[in-house]
Amino acid sequence: MGLNVGSFNSAGGGNVGNFNSSFGNNVGNFNSGIGFNLGSFNSGAGHGSNTGSFNSGIRNTGWANSGNTNTGVFNSGTLNTAIGGTEILDVDNSGFGNIGAGNSGFFNTGGFNSGVGNSTSGGGLNVGLFNSGTGKNSTGIGNTGDNTVGFFNSGDVSRGFFNPGMGNVGVLNMGFANSGFLNWGRITSGALNAATKRSGFFHGLIPGW
């Protein structure tokens, strides 16, 4: 164990140079070890805290890092602040193209996303347009889920138009208790609805009205 200075050093701690192999506090490129590596393409675990690019570990700063609490681009882990970060559990990613929940940006995959083209499964409260998922309370355009606000939504209690489901408010909705016109269902309010207990005209499409 010693402080090696140079390139392609092997063994010891606190090496300074390139392609070093050791444990802890390496400074340079392509270092391998556990601890605080500073440089590019470092590999570390446990005590992570690497600074550079393409690092592997925890609490890395840079891009294309793998681990938790990374800051940069294309990170994989938890609580990444980046573009294209990947996370599944306990996510608070910020950017676009992120995979996980609680992301902010667009083209995210997960729940609680804010942006455009988000995809979520088993989550909700997405804000944006073209969101996809089985979540509730999404806001935007072309959302798939329940209690969505916008248009072209698919689900229940949606607000907008062209929504298929129940309790929709808008135009051309399909389901029950719709409000608007050209709705198909019951207790609808509007025109040209085919249903019972509706308010408007041409309900049931004439025969008996």
pLDDT score at 104: 67
pLDDT score at 89: 45
Residues in the chain where the model's pLDDT stays below 70: 1-4, 7-14, 18, 21-25, 29, 32-36, 40-49, 53-58, 62-138, 144-146, 155-156, 165-167, 175-176, 181, 183, 185-186, 188, 191-209
pLDDT score at 173: 72
How far apart CA 162 and CA 152 sit, in angstroms, is 5
pLDDT score at 28: 72
pLDDT score at 46: 42
Domain ranges of the chain: 1-73, 83-155, 158-209
3-state secondary structure of 16: strand
DSSP 135-197: -BS-BSSS-BSBS-BSSS-BSSS-BSSS-BSSS-BSSS-BSSS-BSSS-BSSS-EEES-BSSS
pLDDT tens for residues 26-70?
A: 777 677 666 667 776 666 554 456 777 666 666 777 666 666 666
Q: At a CB cut-off of 8 Å and minimum separation 6, what does 167 contact?
A: 156, 157, 158, 175, 176, 177, 178
pLDDT score at 3: 67
Give the predicted TM-score (pTM) of the model: 0.40
